Amino acid sequence: MALKRSERLSALTSTILPRSADYEVKLTPDHESLRNTIRDFAEKQIRPMAAEIDRKNHIPRELLNQIAKLGLTAITYKEEYGGLGADLLSMVIALEELARVSAACSTVFVASHLVSEPLNEWGTEEQKKRYLIPMVAGEKIGAHAMTEPGAGSDVAGIKSTAKLHGTHWEISGRKTFITNGEIADLYLVFARTSPSPSRQERHKGLSAFLVERGTQGFQVASKIETIGLRGSQPSELVLDHVKVPKDNLLGKEGDGFYVGVKTYDRGRIDVAAQGVGICQAAYEAAISYAQTRTSFEKPLIEFQQVQYKLAEMAMGLHTARLLTYWAASLKDQGKDFVKASSIAKVTSTEAAEKLSLLAMMIHGGYGVATEYPVERFLRDSQIIKTYEGTNDIQRLTIAKQLLRELKA
């Protein structure tokens, strides 16, 4: 018998109505202590170099080593691997504070986590001892090599291949837009190990491999110049019959799509944190300029038009931060966080763009001058909207999650 309208509404309501416990975010003194530590370092060591990093398109390796020594590479990992055993919310706060001063610097660690996280989740003990421990210690940087010239959002469309020959895999293909490609020590390379069974199952037959820098046949081809996150520019990689040991397969053969997608689910929260950092930076720059710049013998901040813009910026900043902390908290509580991570990523990265534009408007002509940082904020925001799955892809993810919930 068909459900009555009231029964259908009741069933729908139980599916889509929130539970109070799902919105619990707890910040502790440890979180604030970490924030203060990272902020103090960023202000003293990174801010004086931020404009030069952007101008020269280069981050000194020594600076990255110093950031790693703060524990940024160790926050969420177990003590047995050299980690600090802290939660994802701690990582979000640390990345937010780095991105507030230099989004490019934060990107190096966001990208490296796309190797250390799957290693931690799917790696064997031997792989963890060999690769994860030095990554947690900050001795090795990782690069996640999925994207290809003909396969970006369509992960299942990658053409790189890996064939098993006795005790080793032989990988061939080309990767592009690989963050950390030029500086990484370890690469997580995705390749097809078997043909897809059908058009509907194109995601099957992909596998993930750990490839060390310097392996014969592996080449960092060229840096790709982009308008934002200068200092952390992506690269092209060429793999020409690259031989890696059989044991360098991460997870099971054929699980590559699953490894990649699950890694991105968590990684989007890192990107959301970058968006929050840019929002905070734009907000601070706008307020500072509005207080010190005068027009018609009054500080700009006394004009209602400027006040409206600052109000919009405050709304965007706090919304982005709360949603990002919410997504991280769901992950820390072991709850389903996939939809939340996509919501946080879209909201915070688009807020970063909007707040940067508003800051530029408040700055007037100086907003487009390279001697002021707000034009950099806008350029950086364009990149974070694009990687870890474009925001259009995130909207599809949110919709798919909603449909799954309605069918449950």
Active site residues: 388
**How many Å apart are CA 385 and CA 272, to the nearest integer?**
9
The separation between CA 129 and the C-alpha centre of its own chain, rounded to angstroms, equals 25
Going 301 to 304 to 309 to 311, the CA torsion angle's sign is: positive
Specify the DSSP element, H or E, that contains 282.
Answer: helix 256-292
**How many Å apart are CA 323 and CA 347, to the nearest integer?**
8
Quick one: which of 180, 212, 209, 187 has its CA closest to 111?
180
Annotate 222-257 with DSSP letters as a single string. Answer: EEPP-SSSTTS--EEEEEEEEEEEGGGEESSTT-HH
User: Which tokens belong to 266?
Assistant: 């968590």
User: Which tokens belong to 182?
Assistant: 């030029």
Q: Please report, as a single letter, which amino acid is at residue 231.
A: G
Q: Are 317 and 311 in contact (CB under 8 A)?
A: no
Q: Are 110 and 384 in contact (CB under 8 A)?
A: no
**How many Å apart are CA 343 and CA 337, to the nearest integer?**
10
**How many Å apart are CA 192 and CA 238, to the nearest integer?**
15
Q: Give bridge partners of residue 188 from the DSSP assignment.
A: 144, 210
Q: Classify 378 as helix, strand or coil.
A: helix
User: Which tokens belong to 85?
Assistant: 């055993």
Quick one: which of 149, 42, 188, 146 has its CA closest to 104?
42
User: Which tokens belong to 157?
Assistant: 């469309």
DSSP symbol at 151: B
Q: Give the position of tokens 């990174």.
A: 46
